[in-house]
Amino acid sequence: MLGTKNFSRLAVTMALTLIATLGLAHASMASTITVSVRGSVNAVYVSTSSSGAAATGVSVTLSNSKNATIGTGVTDDHGALVFHDIAAGAGYRATVGGVSQPAFAVLDTKAPKTSLYTGAPLHQGLNYITMRDGIQLAATVRLPDGKTLANGPFVTLIEYSGYNTAAPHSLVDSYLGRPGHPSNDPLLPSSSTALGALIGPSVGFATVSLQMRGSGCSGGAYDLFGPTLATDGYDAIERIARESWVSNHQVGLIGISYSGISQFAVAGLQPPHLAAIAPMSPTNDLFATGSPGGIRNTGFAAGWIADRVNDAKPAPLGQSWTQAQIDTGDTVCADNQRFHGQAQDVNQILALHDDRTPSLYDVRSPQKWAASIKVPVFLTGGLQDEQTGPQWPAIISALSKDKDVWVTMQNGTHVDSFSPAIFTRWYEFLNLFVGKRKPTSIGLLGNLFMAGAQPTPGATFPAVRFTSSSSYASALAAFKKD
C-alpha cells in the first residue's frame, strides 16, 4: 500500500500532468483555428474555421479600449458571431478560443477612402460589390430590353431592399412569356421589387437591384434599418456611379415600401453621386408603425419583421433564390451565408421597450434621416396605408431644408402609389433630375407593364409632359412650377 505522503506526491504529479496535457490540447486547438475579426459599422464580425470547415462553439470575449469586457458569445454552426450595437472607436480586442487577437477599430458612418470604389467593371447580371468593412453585397444590373452595356450610357436607378431583390433572372422576359423564362423560375426577383426589376428597364432606364446585407446572396448579418443600411447604400452608389455606362456618373434611388424606406437612410448620408430619390409608400418611424399610439402592433408590423428575419436565414433556409443561385456554382453566394445566422431579431428588441427609446429608434427613423437630405425628392403615399400606416406625412416637415421636394398625398392604400398619374410624373422626375434630360414618350413595353402594375384594370395614363420643350432647362423650369 502507498503511504499517505507518497499518495499525496502521486496525486500532485497526476494533477500537474493533467493540467499540462489540457494546456497542450488547448494550445493545439487554438493553433489550428483560423480566426478573422473585423470592425464593421457599430458592429464586430468574428469568424472561425478549422481545416477549411466552420469551427463552431468557439468562445469569444469582446473588450473595449479600457480592457473592460463588453460582450461574450460562442460561434454558431457557420463559425460566426456578430456583436451588434457597438460604439465606434479604436482599441477593441477579441479573445477567441482563449487567444487574444490584434486590436481593431469599430467603424462609424463617415465616408471611407474613395479607393474603395474602384475595381473591375460591373457587368450585366449578378455582381458583388465590396462594402467598407469587406462584406460583399449582391447587385444585379438590368438594362433596357434588348440593350447591352455598349449601348450606354443609361440613366441609372438603384432599388435597394431585403426582398428577393438581386435574384438575377429577368421579370421582363418572364412576363412576356419568352422561351426559357418560366413564371416559376426560382431565380426571378419578387414582384415587390418590380420598379427596379420590371418597370425601370421597360421605360428605358438601367437599374441595379441591390440586395440588403444579410439577405439573399449578400454577405453580413441582417439588422433591420440598422446603421449599415445607410453606409452600404452609400458605398454601392459611389461604386456604381463610377461605371462608364452610368449617365452623368450619378444615380437615383427608387422603390416602394421597403425600398422606399431605405432611400431616406442612404440619402441622409449625402452620397456625392446620388442625384435624386423617389420613395413610395414609406413609413416615418419604426415605433410609429410598430407601436401606433404606444400599443404594440402584433398584426402586420410584427409579422412583417418576423418574415424579414426568417428571410435572412442562411441557405437552404431563408430566400429560395439563394440556394438556387448556389446550385449554379456561385461560391461567393455560398460563402456570403456565413453571417446570416447572426441576424438581429428586431421583434425581440422592440419587446424590451414599451416607449420610444431614442437610442434604439432614432438610428432607425426615416423622419430623422430625412432631415439631412439635400437631393431632389419625389415622395408619394396613401393616406389609408394599411401596412406602413397613415402617419408617413410627418416626414414632410423633416424635408423643410430641401428646396426640391414634390409630395403626393392621396386617398388610397399601400399599393396606390402605383396610380397612373403618379407613374407618369415619376417618369418625368427621374428623367429631369437623374438623367438631366427632357423626358421622351413612354414606349409600348413601358405602357404595357405600367398598366399591368395597376391595382385597378383599365387605367389610363396622363401624357408625358415636356417632350416638346425647347431645351432641358426649359423642361426643368416648367416641372419646377408644379
Domain that holds residue 52: 33-106
Asked whether residue 428 falls in the same domain as residue 279, the answer is yes
Quote the pLDDT of residue 11. Answer: 39
Residue 25 covered by a domain: no
Q: What is the pLDDT of residue 26?
A: 42
Per-residue model confidence (pLDDT) at position 218 = 99
Q: What is the pLDDT of residues 226-269, one digit of tens each?
A: 999 999 999 999 999 999 999 999 999 999 999 999 999 999 99
* 186 in the same domain as 38: no
Cell of 257: 415600401
Q: Is residue 168 part of a domain?
A: yes
Question: Is residue 472 one of the residues assigned to a domain?
Answer: yes
Quick one: pLDDT at residue 80? 99
pLDDT higher than 90, residue 66 = yes
Spatial neighbors of 255 by CB under 8 A, at least 6 apart, are: 159, 160, 161, 193, 195, 196, 262, 263, 278, 279, 280
Contact call for residues 473 and 436 (beta carbons, < 8 A): no
CATH number at residue 430: 3.40.50.1820
Domain boundary among 72, 106, 140: 106
For residues 102 and 198, state if they share a domain. no
Same domain, 176 and 78: no
pLDDT of 9 reads 43
Query: In the prediction, which pLDDT does 51 show?
Result: 92
21 in a structural domain: no
Q: Does 120 share its domain with 97?
A: no
Same domain for 240 and 101: no
Confidence band, pLDDT 50/70/90 cuts, at residue 447: confident
- Give yes or no: residues 56 and 170 share one domain: no
Question: In this structure, are residues 198 and 145 in contact, taking their beta carbons and an 8 Å threshold?
Answer: no
Choose between 390 and 223: higher pLDDT: 223
Cα distance between residue 279 and residue 276, in whole Å: 10
Higher-scoring residue by pLDDT: 129, 20? 129
Residue 18: inside a domain, yes or no?
no
In a domain, 24, yes or no: no
- CATH number at 52 reads 2.60.40.10
Structural domain count, the chain: 2
For 85-120, the pLDDT digits (tens) are 999 999 999 999 999 999 999 999 999 999 999 999
pLDDT given at position 455: 67
Cβ atoms of 212 and 222 closer than 8 Å = yes
Segment 39-55, tens digit of pLDDT: 999 999 999 999 999 99
Average pLDDT over residues 153-171: 98
pLDDT reported for residue 57: 98
**How would you label 448-476 residue by residue, b for 16+ Cβ within 10 Å and e otherwise?**
ebbeebbeeeebebeebbbeebeebeebb
Q: 128 and 272: one domain?
A: yes
Rounded mean pLDDT of 188-210? 96
357 assigned to some structural domain: yes
Q: pLDDT grade, residue 2 (50/70/90)?
A: very low
Residues 436 and 358 in one domain: yes
Q: Is residue 12 part of a domain?
A: no
Give the residue from 106, 133, 152 where a domain finishes: 106
Is residue 390 over pLDDT 70? yes
Which tops the pLDDT comparison, 369 or 20? 369
Task: Please write down the HEC assignment for all residues of the chain.
Answer: CCCHHHHHHHHHHHHHHHHHHHHHHHHHHHHHEEEEEEEEECEEEEEEEECCEECCCCEEEEECCCCCEEEEEECCCCCEEEEECCCCEEEEEEEECCEECCCEEEECCCCCCHHHHCCCCCCCEEEEEECCCCCEEEEEEECCCCCCHHHCCEEEEEEEECCCCCCCCCHHHHHCCCCCCCCCCCCCCCHHHHHHHHHHHHCCCEEEEEECCCCCCCCCCCCCCCHHHHHHHHHHHHHHCCCCCEEEEEEEEEEECHHHHHHHHHHCCCCCCEEEEEEECCCCCHHHHHCHHHCCCCCHHHHHHHHHHHHCCCCCCCCHHHHHHHCCCCHHHHHCCCCHHHCCCHHHHHHCCCCCCHHHHHHHCHHHHHCCCCCCEEEEEECCCCCCCCCHHHHHHHCCCCCCEEEEEECCCHHHHHCHHHHHHHHHHHHHHCCCCCCCCCCHHHHHHHHHCCCCCCCCCCCCCCCCCCCHHHHHHHHHCC
Q: Reply yes or no on whether the pLDDT at 7 is more than 60.
A: no
Residues 45 and 137 in one domain: no
Domain end point (choices 84, 106, 128): 106
Q: Are residues 236 and 256 in the same domain?
A: yes
Same domain, 51 and 83: yes
Cell numbers of 409, please?
398625398
Could you report the per-residue pLDDT of 292-341, keeping only the tens digit for each? Answer: 777 777 788 888 889 999 999 999 999 999 999 999 999 999 999 999 99
Per-residue confidence (pLDDT) for residue 445, from 0 to 100: 85
pLDDT confidence tier of residue 24, bands split at 50, 70 and 90: very low
